[in-house]
Amino acid sequence: MRKYIIVIIYVFLFNSCVMEGFRNVKGADWLEENSNWVRADAKKTETEFGTGYLCQSSNMWNLMKELDGSDKIINIQIEDSNPNLDDIATALNGYSNVKVNLDLSKCIELSIIYGLGTANLLGIVLPENLMGIYDNAFKGSGIKNILIPQSMKRIGKKAFANCSRLTNITIPNNVTIIDEYAFSECSMLVSFDMSKSITSIMDYMFSGCKRLINIDIPDTVTSIGNGAFLGCDGLSSIDIPSSVKSIGSRAFSGCSELTNITIPNSVSSIGDYALSNCNKLTSITIPYYSNFKDIFNSDYLPSSIKKLIISDGVTSIGYSFWKSSIVNVEIPDTVTHIDMWAFYKCKELTSVSIGNGVTNIKEAVFSGCNNLSTLTIQATMPPSFDKDVFEDCTSLSSIYVPASSVAAYKSADGWSEYADYIYAIEE
């Protein structure tokens, strides 16, 4: 008899100790209906989510075990000020069928968060003193909304990657670094309010954010990384501030709804395929910089672009636009040199206007432009003219030059072959 009494007392004490780790929280209707282990005198308290449990991180596994099989979203508040995140992650992963909203507001000694990238985590409240979100911290989680505390300084690589339910997020101004791929493949992300302290949009930061329609790039940003907005199908327009100096390769590639973009004169470097497959982009303004190469040829420039405006300040044009689908080109007075093959085989090109600064037109610049019919050039002195500049330009019928220079053009080397097509610019 004594043995049975001891066993009964032991079981009672054990269960009491375990239950002390979890306490029922306000309005726990589901708990009252479905959890026969909850004590009748369990304490109730408020959490950020409302209905749920309060527990120590070390006890979360046992709590999740008791809740296993629930078809409801369970709200859990972690009670300890400096919790063991590994314990929390283990519990979430171990009972991945239990859907959880996690309240960490009491974890005031927690400075960095990591390891909570589980699909069954549907909501998260972060503590006010949190300073960093580590690499992959919420990757693949089911969170829909999150409030980033003002104390935050850095968001790590792939921190929110593949969060397919995340719809919007505001980054406070104390954040100075958001690492690469941080929000990649967040397919439901619609809007993003960026920190005014960010200096770089890192590589692939928003790649695959197909519903992103609104983003304001602050004037603190100096670089847009490789693939930063790759495949952002919903982005129809974007303002690039004059603080930006470089745009990486494929930065806007596949932005299929993008209809206009202005690249400011501050930009001195544009990577390969930066605008490829932006098939609704119809016009583009090219900034002032001298490093034109093959950035905007047919492999890089979407076929939808028909009008090309080159900003004042550009001094030379390299083999930049060959085989592209542009129809009209305006070249400013600041350009002095057009390099070979610059517009080679632009078969849809019909008219070109060249300012008064050009002194040299190199080999085959317009070769193969078989629909080019009109060229207007403002230079009073005929630019030097290399071979095959107008080779196979079978539609060329009008070359307009200043009235005072018509005779000079008709007798100049190269230009003389087209003397019958040279006319005075109408005043």
pTM: 0.75
Neighbours of 335 (CB within 10 A): 20
Answer whether residue 71 shows pLDDT above 70: yes
Residue type for position 218: P
Q: What's the rounded Cα separation, in Å, for the pair 86 and 91?
A: 9
Element holding 53 (H helix, E strand): strand 53-55
- Listed in sequence order, the residues at least 6 apart from 71 whose beta carbon sits closer than 8 Å to its beta carbon are none
The four Cα atoms 113, 119, 123, 125 give a dihedral, to 10 degrees, of: -10
Q: What is the DSSP letter of 147?
A: P
Residue 325, judged by CB atoms within 10 A of its CB (0-12, 13-18, 19+), counts as middle
Compute the residue count for the chain: 427
Q: Give the C-alpha distances (Å, rounded to integers) separating 411 from 77, 298, 386, 420.
A: 87, 35, 15, 11
Q: What is the DSSP letter of 290?
A: S
More confident residue, 82 or 286: 82
- Bridge partners of residue 237, in order along the sequence: 260
Q: What is the DSSP letter of 145?
A: B
CA torsion sign for 347, 353, 355, 360 is positive
More confident residue, 352 or 45: 352
Where does 54-208 have alpha helices with state H? Answer: 60-67, 85-94
Query: Which pLDDT tens digit goes with each residue over 204-262?
Result: 999 999 999 988 899 999 999 999 999 999 998 888 999 999 999 999 999 999 887 87
Retrieve residue 42's tokens.
């369990």
Query: Which pLDDT tens digit goes with each residue over 295-319?
Result: 454 456 677 777 777 778 778 887 7
For residues 139-167, give the mean pLDDT: 95
Q: What's the rounded Cα separation, in Å, for the pair 95 and 393?
A: 71
Average pLDDT, the chain: 84
Residue 151, judged by CB atoms within 10 A of its CB (0-12, 13-18, 19+), counts as middle
Q: Give the C-alpha distances (Å, rounded to integers) separating 248 from 184, 273, 317, 385.
A: 16, 9, 20, 35
Q: Give the C-alpha distances (Å, rounded to integers) separating 280 from 166, 210, 305, 386.
A: 27, 16, 8, 36
Q: What's the rounded Cα separation, in Å, for the pair 372 and 349?
A: 5
Q: Give the C-alpha distances (Å, rounded to integers) separating 243 from 180, 200, 217.
A: 20, 11, 10
Q: What's the rounded Cα separation, in Å, for the pair 46 and 53?
A: 10
Residue 387, judged by CB atoms within 10 A of its CB (0-12, 13-18, 19+), counts as exposed
Retrieve residue 133's tokens.
């979100």
Confidence of residue 325 (pLDDT cuts 50, 70, 90): confident
Q: What is the pLDDT of residue 220?
A: 96
Retrieve residue 367's tokens.
């070769």
For the chain, give every domain's residue range. 1-102, 292-427
Q: Give the C-alpha distances (Å, rounded to integers) separating 365 from 48, 78, 284, 303.
A: 66, 69, 20, 20
**DSSP secondary structure string, 293-306?**
SSTTSTTTS-TT--
Q: Which CATH class is domain 292-427?
A: alpha beta
Query: Which pLDDT tens digit goes with each residue over 154-213?
Result: 999 999 999 999 998 999 999 999 999 999 999 999 989 999 999 999 999 999 999 999
Confidence of residue 7 (pLDDT cuts 50, 70, 90): very low
